[in-house]
Amino acid sequence: MSSQDSFSRAVLVVCGFMLGPEPEGEHVEPISSGSLIAYLFGALLIVLNSFHADPALISFGLLVAGSLFVAWRTPAATAAIGAAALFVFVVFAEWAVRGNPDMLVLPGGPLPGIGPNATDGSVSLHMTTAAIFASMFGVAGFLAQRRFTTTAIIVQWAAVATFTPLALLVALYARIAQLDRSIPFAIFAVLLAAAFAATTEFLTRREDRPEHSAPIALFATGTLAALALALTFALEKGWLTIALALMSLGTAWISLQRPIAFLRTLAAILAGIVVLRIGYEPRIVGDAVGTTPIFNWLLWGYGIPAASFWAASIFLRRNGDDAALRAVESAAILFTVLLAFMEIRHAVNQGDVYRSSAGLTEVALQVCTALAMAIGLERLRIRTASIVHNISAVLLTVFAGLAAVFGLMLLETPILWPINVGGGFINLLLLGYALPAVLALLLSYAVAGRRPAAYANTLAAGALILALTYVSFEIRRLYHGPVLSHGPTTGAEQYTYSIAWLVFGVVLLGIGIVAGSQRARMASAAVIALTIVKAFVVDMSQLTGVYRALSFMCLGVVLVAIGWLYQRILFRRQAETPPVAG
């Protein structure tokens, strides 16, 4: 009992308590708090050195209770309650580690000097002591919100009132449940969340105390943290990822009902935790992801968080644009993109998302998906003016462009590698080149007038290249079968290329005339110019006889027809232009 006697003498110097000097308002006084912290630290060392012997633990509990009582009577000793909460957590965390062999093993082996000991304090005593500590800190922290008026003081009380019960619950769970699924501990966490929620509601209604803003945020955070623990204790595998994402949504919704600034930050923090979670295991549930296309764990593990983050961003946007909103928006877009790409990889590779190589089908689907998402984000950013939507649209467009150049045109192009493209017209060429061409063209119109002209023109040029590639590859498919890289190129095939390119150029010209599109007419001119170059460079050297004659005859007829059309357009415009008054 000598330590308790020394502690009793130490409290005599605390300002505003017994024989101590008078305090100067509600302020923390270093000597008053430091004297209590020193004796609490000594009691902590005794508990750890005695392997949590019952007398040592009881003495430590009495000293903690005494410190709370002194700090309750005088704010000069308030700093001691933070140290007391920390020391309580250290005691129970060390006890939990000793009783959980799985937590003792590190890459270098077990921690030296740490392990189960026959003299460890009993589980029942620790559970009882933990309940007493949680009640003391929680109730005292709540009542202190009415007793004190200084923000710095009541914030410290609110902090220990939320931290201590949560920390003790985690320590007991680690020791008793061995980090396994536990419904009883989940129930305790829900009850703790209800207590924090009631405290938050009570303090929120007291609008005459503006200094309660930070404590309200702390108790609200404690509510959500307790709910997160409940889900952690009750759920397993991918459900925890989904639960945390739904908590981010719930936090964003609560921030509308209770405009506490920290809740917005907390929604972003929860979203960040979910992002880190998938970085650890992209399959969400490991090997249990399944092999069924689309309807597998990827759909729930990525789809529900994506929907949650989109909804959360809508709630957060109602109260302004800040870093928290942008973080949640980024998470929403990231999960949407990953959902699509992971489902594509899963479906194409028979459930193996870790396969090291990609094929033409996978690259084509990813390019189409990226372009479609870019179109959606371009439309969305017009309404939201969000910098996240703006940058994400550009990044997806760049990704699609790089995947098209290096994937569709080089690494997975069927003209260079023995790739079976399938049927005559319904084949991989349609998916890999025709559909991306259409999407790139739509994207170029979506950004026209809203981004630099060079940006839209580059997309249009990419669409033209993909479309011309599709036409050429489709012709080769008709001559060579499903494997385009096999067999020589005949004169008939070369002649078909020339005719098809000419027809393609004329169709573009017709579209440009009917729709009044200068971009289509310029594309037509580029295709016909390319056909002319091919006629003089390739056809003249490789074609013989009737094919060479037909090639140049068709080219000449088309050029004359184009010249006639342009003259008609020019004359019509000149006739419709009103004369300038003299």
Is residue 109 a part of any domain in this protein? no
DSSP designation for 106? E
- C-alpha closest to that of 178 among 73, 87, 102: 102
- C-alpha closest to that of 85 among 46, 50, 44: 44
Q: In this structure, what are the phi and psi dihedrals at residue 120, rounded to the nearest 5 degrees? A: -55, 145
Helix, coil or strand: residue 540 = helix
- C-alpha closest to that of 104 among 89, 93, 90, 91: 93
Query: Which residue range is the domain that position 317 belongs to?
Result: 236-327
DSSP designation for 76? G
Q: Does the structure show a pLDDT above 70 at 460? A: yes
45 and 186 fall within a common domain: yes
User: What are the start-end ranges of the E strands in 323-470?
Assistant: none
Is residue 113 a part of any domain in this protein? no
Burial class (CB in 10 A: 0-12, 13-18, 19+), 546: exposed
Over residues 227-278, the pLDDT tens digits come to 988 988 888 767 888 888 988 998 899 888 877 778 899 899 999 999 998 8
Q: Does the structure show a pLDDT above 50 at 536? A: yes
User: Of the given ranges (7-21, 331-345, 469-483), which has the lowest mean pLDDT?
Assistant: 7-21
At which of 219, 234, 249 does a domain end? Answer: 234
Average pLDDT, the chain: 85
Q: Does the structure show a pLDDT above 70 at 574? A: no
What share of the chain in percent tops pLDDT 70?
85
On the CB side of 24, CA atoms within 13 Å amount to 2
Mean pLDDT in residue range 37-49:
89
Q: Does the structure show a pLDDT above 60 at 513? A: yes
242 and 312 fall within a common domain: yes
535 and 400 fall within a common domain: no
Q: Does the structure show a pLDDT above 70 at 13? A: no
More confident position, 103 or 88 = 88
Q: Does the structure show a pLDDT above 90 at 392? A: yes
DSSP designation for 105? E
Is residue 366 a part of any domain in this protein? yes
At which of 175, 201, 234 does a domain end? Answer: 234
Over residues 467-500, the pLDDT tens digits come to 999 999 999 999 999 999 988 988 889 889 988 9
DSSP designation for 285? S
Over residues 544-573, the pLDDT tens digits come to 667 677 776 777 777 777 776 666 665 565
Angle between the N-to-C axes of helices 297-317 and 323-348, in degrees from 0 to 180, rounded to the nearest 10: 160
Q: Does the structure show a pLDDT above 50 at 98? A: yes
177 and 252 fall within a common domain: no
Q: Does the structure show a pLDDT above 60 at 111? A: no
DSSP string computed for 400-433: HHHIIIIIIIIIT-TTTS--B-BSSSSBHHIIII
pLDDT given for residue 109 in this prediction: 42
Mean pLDDT in residue range 347-364:
90
pLDDT given for residue 204 in this prediction: 82
Instruction: Provide the residue count of the chain.
Output: 582
DSSP designation for 537? I
Mean pLDDT in residue range 151-174:
92
pLDDT given for residue 116 in this prediction: 47
pLDDT given for residue 107 in this prediction: 40
Rg of the chain (C-alpha set): 36
User: Of the given ranges (278-287, 448-457, 539-548), which has the lowest mean pLDDT?
Assistant: 539-548
425 and 518 fall within a common domain: no
47 and 183 fall within a common domain: yes
DSSP string computed for 259-274: --HHHHHHHHHHHHHH
pTM of the model: 0.79
Is residue 340 a part of any domain in this protein? no
Is residue 301 a part of any domain in this protein? yes
184 and 212 fall within a common domain: yes
pLDDT given for residue 103 in this prediction: 46
Is residue 322 a part of any domain in this protein? yes
More confident position, 489 or 22 = 489
At which of 234, 251, 266 does a domain end? Answer: 234
Is residue 383 a part of any domain in this protein? yes
pLDDT given for residue 455 in this prediction: 97
User: Of the given ranges (83-92, 335-344, 498-507), which has the lowest mean pLDDT?
Assistant: 498-507
507 and 457 fall within a common domain: no
Which H/E stretch holds residue 70?
A: helix 54-73
Q: How far apart are CA 329 and CA 322, in angstroms?
A: 11
Q: How far apart are CA 192 and CA 199, in angstroms?
A: 11
Is residue 129 a part of any domain in this protein? yes
Q: Determine the residue type at 233.
A: F
Burial class (CB in 10 A: 0-12, 13-18, 19+), 566: middle
Q: How far is CA 349 from CA 359, 382, 432, in A?
A: 9, 37, 17
More confident position, 370 or 122 = 370
86 and 182 fall within a common domain: yes
Structural domain count, the chain: 4
Where does 52-149 have alpha helices with state H?
54-73, 79-98, 123-147
199 and 277 fall within a common domain: no
pLDDT given for residue 256 in this prediction: 87
Model confidence at 502, pLDDT cuts 50, 70, 90, reads confident
Q: Does the structure show a pLDDT above 50 at 114? A: no
**Counts of helices then strands in the chain (DSSP H, E):** 21, 2
pLDDT given for residue 12 in this prediction: 52
Which residue has tokens 């372009």?
Answer: 371
53 and 156 fall within a common domain: yes
137 and 187 fall within a common domain: yes
Over residues 268-306, the pLDDT tens digits come to 999 999 999 888 889 888 888 888 999 999 999 999 999
Q: Does the structure show a pLDDT above 60 at 539? A: yes
Mean pLDDT in residue range 198-207:
82
Q: Does the structure show a pLDDT above 50 at 521? A: yes
- C-alpha closest to that of 65 among 94, 32, 88: 88
Residues with Cβ within 8 Å of 522's Cβ and at least 6 positions away in sequence, in order, are 512
pLDDT given for residue 231 in this prediction: 87
User: Of the given ranges (64-68, 397-401, 511-515, 519-523), which has the lowest mean pLDDT?
Assistant: 511-515
